[in-house]
Each structure stands twice: as structure tokens, then as C-alpha cells.
Amino acid sequence: MGKLSQECADIKTVSSFCGCIAGDETADPAAQAFCDRAKTEKNITGDDLDELKIALMGLEDEACCEC
């Protein structure tokens, strides 16, 4: 699982978020899949992006504590 950079996490619009992670080879596969979907589905919203970021942050928190 890739880590979501703080720079990308702070972005509020789907297109800007996807642009931010586009060049990042370490971006989380779920974030990449979200952006792939956003290219073809016009009903992806900022609320969907917020939910994705919350889920990714939760996964990062869980991963950091599994030692």
C-alpha cells in the first residue's frame, strides 16, 4: 500500500487530486483506481474523494501500528 502525500491529501477537487497522484509511482492502488474511475464516470464528486481519503488515512493508521 502506498502512502498518500500530505500535498495530495489536502487537495479538495477530484481532477486536481488525480493530477497530484498521477506522477507518483508510490501512490496507493486504491487512489489510482479511483482516478481511473473518475476519468470515465462523470458522477464522481468531492464527497467521494473525501471518503477515499478517510479510508486511505485509516489504512495508513492501521499499517503503522502493526509491528
pLDDT in tens, 6-63: 888 899 999 999 999 998 888 889 999 999 999 999 899 999 999 999 988 876 655 5
* In-domain check, residue 61: yes
Measured distance CA(29)–CA(16) in Å, rounded: 17
Q: Is residue 17 part of a domain?
A: yes
Domain that holds residue 39: 6-65
CB-based contacts of 31: which residues, under 8 Å, 6+ apart?
A: 2, 4, 8, 17, 21, 52, 56
Look at the chain and report how many structural domains it folds into.
1
Q: Is residue 1 part of a domain?
A: no
Residue 38 is assigned to a structural domain of this protein: yes
pTM of the model: 0.80
